[in-house]
Homo-oligomer: A and B are copies of this chain.
Amino acid sequence: MTIDELDARLLELLARHPRITVLEASRRLGVARGTAQARLEKLMARGVIRGFGPDVDPAALGYPVTAFATLEIRQGQGEQVRRHLAGVPEVLELHTITGEGDMLCRLVARSNADLQRVIDRVVGFEGILRSATAIVMENPVPARIIPLVRAAARD
């Protein structure tokens, strides 16, 4: 119910060469085309691969500033707050969390000044009691999955 070495190598190939074809992948993996095709289908069927959505860079869209906001929510207002935040395009991700605060969201903005506008919009909702924002300066480790895939393949 986990992945093997071949799956891992296939995922690596797909990650490294965006629009590689199944045929080309099978050649590089040294297996028959049918095998590569079957593996890929199974990975998708099992939900290991959710999709191949285009990886869009917000910075190239004019939103070079990223920030994380921790939100404290008024009791029982969770549902309304979620809907509110889902309606803000600059909210790229939202999690409910344990510990300090109740929610954590990833935001983007056109500039540091523009971030103020985004935050005002985010917290401008009665269900949100408090918020703390951390602006991202550098991104030493961009979103990655390959090292984990390799680790998962080793068992």
Contact = CB atoms under 8 A, between A and B. Distances in A.
B55 A141 contact: no
A104 B69 CA distance: 12
Given A2-B62, A54-B52, A97 B68 contact: yes
Contacts of A149: 56, 61
Interface of A: 2-3, 11, 14-15, 18-19, 43, 46-63, 66, 68, 82, 85-86, 88-101, 104-106, 108, 132-145, 147-152
7 contacts: A15-B53, A53-B145, A61-B149, A86-B140, A90-B151, A91-B141, A92-B143
Closest 10 CB pairs of A and B: A94-B141, A89-B147, A97-B134, A18-B51, A18-B52, A50-B55, A89-B151, A82-B140, A99-B134, A48-B60
